[in-house]
Amino acid sequence: MKIAIDVSQITADKAGIEYYTFELTKSLIGIENKNQIVLISNKKEYLDQYPNKGNVAKKLISQNRPNLIWMIRAALWMRLNKVDTLISPSYLTFGFLFPGTIQVIHDLTLITNPEFFDEKVSKKFKRQMDFAVKYIRKLVTISNTTKKVLNKLYPTTINKSEYIGIGINDWALKDREENQLNLPDKYIVSISTLQPRKNYINMIKGFEIFSKNNPEYKYIIVGKKGWYYEEIFKLVKERFLEDKVIFYGYANETDLPELIDRSSTLLYCSLEEGFGMPAIEAYARGIPVVVSDIEIFHESMEDKAKFADPNSPADISQKLSASVNTLAKVDRKFLEKYSWLNVAKRIQSVYSSMTQ
């Protein structure tokens, strides 16, 4: 078989989907010896991030960004070069441009909670999803929770959707190193893009309550600006929390381990979540975690975190107080569930079954 993977979304500032694409592709390259893999991107530097291997080809289809025209060009090239299957980690459009597409579904919040997004964006995603599920050969999800939502929204996907999971990113498994960053002595940390569903408004309010009895703590928010983030900065200013709440901005994998290691707790109380990998990564590094009391975190964290009502700043504060003076006892067997090798094997099994 000839398996193509769209790696065009691998930018320099990796976040959830970018990390997922990079780690899955790298792991699949590592185990695939029978079939040919073709990596497709719009920029050479994205392709250069992957190792060279005899059965791995890299196809550059140059364009400034991967828009519809680029996807049509990529789909035509794949058809002409007899590609059997395309793994699409992000763009739904490939589902109806190229037969044999395996579409990765990270979450469906754009459909289930459109209020967190720009109306045009959520409506566009809904239209694409409605259309794509008719043509996509296989849909694979990163969590069982997302698979359940997918099958409920689109019952026709029940027989063509599978769970493949997610793995821990390499940087999260590195040993602790000497301190390099200028960070407070005591702080709570959150890591995610600034956007409404990440629930920073209630987390800041929860930290404010917590801070009254724990004035020595700061709150470091790590993440790039997404959308509708203005209210977050406005709240911090209105509550006179500028000296308490630190907006770190985007952090790469060089800085992330230290930001987690020196924190007292990772706070990750999203209102909705596709998976929430930072919670697993913090736990893997021995840092206690407070997450939302929602289904996805019960699936991903089991009993390895404290669960807070994401709509209650008071409960968030209470869980922070119960968490900061504890140590996470890392269960290595639990972490074995989050192996990129396992994810690669599962998606390998998916495309192998498509020839039968």
- By the 10 Å C-beta count (0-12 exposed, 13-18 middle, 19+ buried), 332 is classed as exposed
- CATH of 2-167+339-353 given 3.40.50.720, 3.60.15.10, 3.40.50.300, 3.40.50.2000: 3.40.50.2000
Domains 2-167+339-353 and 170-335 share a fold: yes
Confidence (pLDDT) at 173 = 84
- Give the DSSP letter string of 180-195: -S---SSEEEEES-BS
The whole-angstrom distance between residue 71's C-alpha and the CA centroid of its chain comes to 23
Q: What is the mean pLDDT of each run of 10 residues along the chain (356 residues)?
A: 90 72 94 95 91 93 91 96 95 90 94 92 93 91 95 95 92 84 96 94 98 97 93 96 96 92 96 91 95 96 96 98 88 92 95 82
The residue ranges of DSSP E strands in 95-229, in sequence order, are: 101-105, 138-141, 161-163, 187-191, 218-222
Confidence (pLDDT) at 120 = 93
Q: Looking at the domain that runs over 170-335, which CATH code has it been given? A: 3.40.50.2000
Q: From residue 49, how far is each of 41, 124, 170 by CA, in Å?
A: 11, 31, 14
Confidence (pLDDT) at 10 = 64
| Cross-strand pairs, 308 | 292
Task: Indicate the domain borders of the chain.
Answer: 2-167+339-353, 170-335
